[in-house]
Amino acid sequence: MPDINQDRIISMAAGFQYSKILLTANELGIFKAVGDKSKTPAQVSGALKLDPEATDMLMRALVGLGLMTYKAGRFTNAPDVQKYLTGDGDDGLACITRHMNHLYSRWSDLDDIMKKGRTKRRAPSKLLTDRKQNRDFICGMFEIGYDTAKAVADAVDMTGVAKMADIGGGPAQYPLALSRKNPDTKFVLADYPNTVKVAREYVSKYGLKDRVKLVNCEFFDVKELGIGNDYDLALLSQVLHAVSDDKCKELIGKVYRILKAGGRILINENAMDDDKAGPPPPLIFAINMLINTAGRTFTTGELAAWLRQAGFKSVKVKRLHQRSALIEGRK
Ligand SMILES: C[S@@+](CC[C@H](N)C(=O)[O-])C[C@H]1O[C@@H](n2cnc3c(N)ncnc32)[C@H](O)[C@@H]1O
């Protein structure tokens, strides 16, 4: 992290304003409406049925943030805004930005949570239950997660992996990346029904229908995965942080049971270093978990210890980047 100074304190304090201007413009489709042309605010407010005065002011604020440029009454998207926020392509950022907008209002509860903790009376997050929110969340995981999936594929030995489980697999970016490494691996992706619908779109789009079986399930009920102890590899990528420590240990124990002897578990988590003082992304992400889930972020050492307690041997930790640490163990 760069040193803190007066300017950084002020820009962090006001950061929510910058953030909300971007999130609202993306949510309402303003970048898309401008597209690769130059448009007036009246054209945009007319096309999107928005208030003309508010649209004019928001578009000028977007110029203030460098997200648009202005000339002679017309506004143009900045090149990277045009590239990342005007379509719903897998290499864009429109879904993850909508997902951030869904989180926005929940973050304003943080003061209250600091006093009362995670009370049962708070309305649960709708990220998994509301179709639209779920779709943006899961497509967003593809947008920001496919590069990590490719890095995981580079780091993991797929030799002899005939059958792999991707538990809480989301948009199937791991089967996609790992299938290219071993053309013989078959995958079972287990997730909630809403998410499986989205995963099905990716599996079709990337021609993986013959290689990825999609299973609608509650992942604590791993019976659905087919008990037969015949998995060579099971992945838990970015799923443990949303549940309690006891549930994490329960799930790791269940994964142990579905693996064949010599099979491996692979955890990918936004994990902290063992001193719990870095890197920055898991320290900040922990607050998102405090606000929205029963979970938290873990140290790589905690995850390694849970694998050993479940009976896994040869436990190894490898940090891929600040938001991703791999913890692997063998049955
Ligand atoms: C943060 S996403 C991670 C997706 C993907 N593994 C990745 O690394 O990007 C968590 C996933 O776990 C799924 N999930 C969470 N709790 C679940 C449960 N109890 N049963 C089944 N799926 C669950 C969610 O639907 C979502 O797809």
Please give the full DSSP string across 42-82, using - where no structure is assigned: HHHHHHHT--HHHHHHHHHHHHHTTSEEEETTEEEE-HHHH
142 C-beta neighbours (distance < 10 Å), count: 21
- Structure confidence by residue, pLDDT tens digits, 2-51: 689 999 999 999 999 999 999 999 999 999 999 999 999 999 999 999 99
Ligand 1 pocket: which of 239, 255, 268 to mutate (most atoms within 8 A of CB): 239
At residue 105, the 3 state secondary structure works out as helix
Centre of ligand 1 from the C-alpha of residue 238, in Å: 7
Quickly state the pLDDT bin for 88 (edges 50, 70, 90). confident
Q: Is-contact 291 110, C-beta < 8 A?
A: yes
Q: Is-contact 226 188, C-beta < 8 A?
A: yes
pLDDT at 89: 84
pLDDT at 80: 97
Give which of 269, 295, 266, 267 is closest to 281, Cα–Cα: 269
At residue 257, the 3 state secondary structure works out as helix
Gap between the Cα atoms of 157 and 39, Å rounded = 51
Give which of 142, 135, 109, 140 is closest to 124, Cα–Cα: 109
pLDDT at 227: 62
Q: Is the model's pLDDT at 165 over the cut of 90?
A: yes
Instruction: Name beta bridge partners: 119.
Output: none
Nearest CA to ligand 1 atom 10: 239
Q: Please measure the distance between the N-terminal and C-terminal CA atoms of the chain and give it in whole angstroms.
A: 39
Instruction: Name beta bridge partners: 325.
Output: 269, 319
277 phi, psi to nearest 5 deg? -120, 10
**For all residues of the chain together, what is the average pLDDT?**
96
Lowest-confidence region among 65-69, 99-103, 156-160, 219-223: 219-223
Give which of 230, 244, 224 is closest to 290, Cα–Cα: 244
41 CB within 6 A, ligand 1: no
Q: Is-contact 188 166, C-beta < 8 A?
A: yes
> Considering Cα of 61, then 66, then 67, then 71, what sign does the dihedral take?
positive
- Structure confidence by residue, pLDDT tens digits, 235-283: 999 999 999 999 999 999 999 999 999 999 999 999 999 999 999 999 9
296 phi, psi to nearest 5 deg? -160, -175
> Considering Cα of 248, then 117, then 284, then 172, what sign does the dihedral take?
positive
pLDDT at 280: 97
Centre of ligand 1 from the C-alpha of residue 191, in Å: 6
Residues 6+ away with beta carbon under 8 Å from 57: none
221 CB within 6 A, ligand 1: no
Centre of ligand 1 from the C-alpha of residue 314, in Å: 26
292 CB within 6 A, ligand 1: no
Gap between the Cα atoms of 217 and 168, Å rounded = 9
Quickly state the pLDDT bin for 224 (edges 50, 70, 90). confident
Instruction: Provide the phi-psi class of 207: left if phi over 0, else alpha when psi is between -120 and 50, else beta.
Output: left
Give which of 282, 232, 280, 240 is closest to 260, Cα–Cα: 232
Quickly state the pLDDT bin for 1 (edges 50, 70, 90). low
Q: Which two tokens stand for residue 78?
A: 């900045």
Structural domains for the chain: 6-86 (1.10.10.10), 151-330 (3.40.50.150)
pLDDT at 124: 85
